[in-house]
């Protein structure tokens, strides 16, 4: 080959080769299985063992589920039809679903009321949980929802929740009017103004007892999962702001406020919740004047809220302690007072740090609402252990009822957990 011919040969390709698909072993399900289930010998053995246990569980569970009966009138009839075959007696759910959800005393023709309140809860909670996606005007409905839900669930005249709402509005207006002069004075003015409105409104509600009235349902007639849900939502909603105040009070420079918060937190955290529930049920009545009636659900809400507030306070205190000192100094350098620095700089960062701990307390609190069954309140667990299993028709049914309880509690607790993880990702600012 001459030099001229050698120089005319191109050693660099000037056209692109057509793109080829990656090997089947390096993409799709095959790659996922190899990387996650069989990356090495040890993990492959663990995967095979786990698959064996899953197979054994499903081999026993699926025939029991698929072969179950839903239309029998008693456990004896169910066993007679099965005649030794594998299958669950799910007829207890079709027969007693209303008691499991609403208790055995809530009027059946009024089930629409707590159901409507449950549906409205999602609308009311939307601007609080997904503020970036929901119009801010929905917050007006959120502020009205507690009074609407109370009227729907407990019934009575609508004047009662309207008077309660008016008391909060008047108290807020009094607070804003005096706030510039003194925070303590503004708080006192708000409390006095609201108390006056409620005192006068009490006579007004008695005089207008028939105005837009729903049939009254006393607290003793409420039960089932509805009771667990009411306690969980109300106590979690109340314990968060109270926990924030306790955490700030524990770090206060004023000795009286600091020690009141310290004693409250340490005492409540050192006492089992079941003890506080017994106090709410029995002991609290001894401290009230003779003949005074104090709603049992309200007493339980107070005790559970106190219990969870103490734990949330410690979680938030950990978030406050995790902030660098420079954040406090930055707030001081901007000329912000204590309330402004906490609201605008310190507390948003502390709450973001505290999200996992707050969610942990909220999930635990929702599950702990089942403890009210020990003080003769017929929540979901109380209904299962009491009227249903005590009946001659369904004495001996366990897996079906407790499986239903799992199906009620798990979605709520899992949903709270997933929302917290989504919120952490939305609030992430470190770009890790």
Mean pLDDT, the chain, integer: 85
3-state secondary structure of 348: helix
Mean pLDDT, residues 349-374: 89
Q: Is the pLDDT of residue 54 over 80?
A: yes
Higher-pLDDT residue of 388 and 8 is: 388
Whether 2 shows a pLDDT value over 60: the answer reads no
Residue 108's contacts (CB-CB under 8 Å, 6 or more residues apart) are: 98
Residue 81 DSSP class? H
Task: Quote the DSSP letter at residue 65.
Answer: H
Separation CA 428–CA 430 (nearest Å)? 6
The mean pLDDT of 326-331, rounded to a whole number, is 80
pLDDT at 429: 61
- The share of the chain scoring above pLDDT 90, in percent, equals 30
Note the pLDDT of residue 259: 93
**Could you tell me the pLDDT band of residue 367, with boundaries at 50, 70 and 90?**
very high
Would you state the structure tokens that stand for residue 199, as one six-digit string? 């005192």
The mean-pLDDT minimum among 253-257, 332-336, 359-363 falls in 332-336
**For residues 320 and 305, what is the distance between their CA atoms, to the nearest angstrom?**
22
Q: Is the pLDDT of residue 11 over 70?
A: no
Under the banding of pLDDT at 50, 70 and 90, the label for residue 114 is very high
pLDDT digits (tens, 9 = 90+) for 158-171: 888 888 888 888 88
Average pLDDT over residues 229-243: 92
Per the CATH hierarchy, to which homologous superfamily does domain 221-432 belong? MetI-like (1.10.3720.10)
- Most confident range (mean pLDDT) of 10-14, 71-75, 181-185 is 71-75
Question: pLDDT at position 197, please?
Answer: 85
Q: 306: closest CA among 264, 275, 339, 337?
A: 264
In the chain, where are the structural domains located? 36-66, 221-432
Stretch 49-60: mean pLDDT? 93
Average pLDDT for 415-422: 90
What is residue 131's predicted lDDT score, i.e. its pLDDT? 80
Q: What per-residue confidence (pLDDT) applies to 9?
A: 56
Looking at residue 407, its pLDDT comes to 92
Distance CA 378, CA 103 (A): 7
Q: How far apart are CA 286 and CA 277, in angstroms?
A: 15
């Amino acid at each position: 080959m001459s030099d001229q011919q050698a120089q005319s040969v191109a050693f660099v390709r000037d056209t692109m080769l057509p793109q080829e698909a990656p090997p089947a072993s390096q993409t799709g399900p095959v790659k996922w299985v190899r990387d996650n289930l069989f990356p090495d010998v040890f993990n492959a053995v663990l995967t095979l063992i786990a698959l064996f246990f899953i197979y054994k569980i499903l081999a026993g569970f699926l025939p029991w589920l698929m072969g179950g009966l839903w239309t029998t009138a008693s456990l004896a009839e169910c066993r007679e039809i099965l005649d030794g075959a594998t299958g669950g007696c799910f007829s207890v759910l079709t027969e007693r679903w209303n008691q499991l959800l609403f208790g055995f005393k809530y009027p059946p023709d009024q089930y629409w009321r707590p159901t409507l309140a449950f549906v409205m809860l999602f609308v009311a909670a939307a601007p609080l949980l997904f503020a970036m996606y929901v119009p801010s005007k929905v917050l007006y409905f959120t502020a009205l929802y507690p009074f609407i839900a109370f009227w729907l669930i407990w019934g009575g005249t609508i004047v009662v929740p309207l008077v309660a709402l008016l008391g909060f509005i008047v108290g807020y207006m009094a607070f804003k009017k005096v706030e510039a002069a003194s925070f303590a004075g503004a708080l006192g003015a708000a409390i006095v103004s609201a108390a006056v409105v409620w005192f006068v409104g009490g006579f007004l509600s008695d005089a207008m007892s028939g105005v837009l009235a729903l049939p009254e349902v006393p607290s003793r007639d409420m039960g089932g999962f509805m009771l667990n849900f009411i306690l969980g939502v109300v106590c979690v909603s109340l314990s968060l702001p109270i926990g924030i105040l306790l955490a700030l009070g524990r770090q206060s420079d004023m000795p009286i406020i600091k020690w009141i918060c310290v004693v409250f937190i340490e005492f409540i955290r050192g006492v089992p919740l079941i003890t506080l529930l017994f106090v709410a049920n029995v002991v609290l009545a001894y401290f009230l004047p003779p003949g005074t009636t104090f709603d049992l659900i309200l007493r339980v809400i107070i005790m559970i809220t106190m219990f969870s507030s103490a734990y949330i306070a410690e979680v938030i205190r950990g978030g406050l302690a995790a902030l660098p000192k420079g954040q406090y100094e930055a707030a001081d350098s901007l000329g912000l007072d204590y309330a402004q620095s906490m609201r605008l700089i310190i507390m948003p960062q502390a709450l973001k740090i505290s999200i996992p701990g707050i969610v942990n307390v909220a999930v635990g609190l929702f599950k702990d609402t089942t403890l009210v069954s020990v003080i003769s309140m017929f929540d979901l667990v109380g209904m299962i252990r009491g009227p249903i299993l005590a009946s001659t028709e369904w004495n001996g049914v366990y897996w079906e009822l407790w499986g239903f309880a799992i199906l009620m509690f798990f979605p709520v607790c899992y949903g709270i957990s997933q929302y917290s993880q989504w919120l952490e990702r939305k609030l992430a600012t470190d770009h890790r």
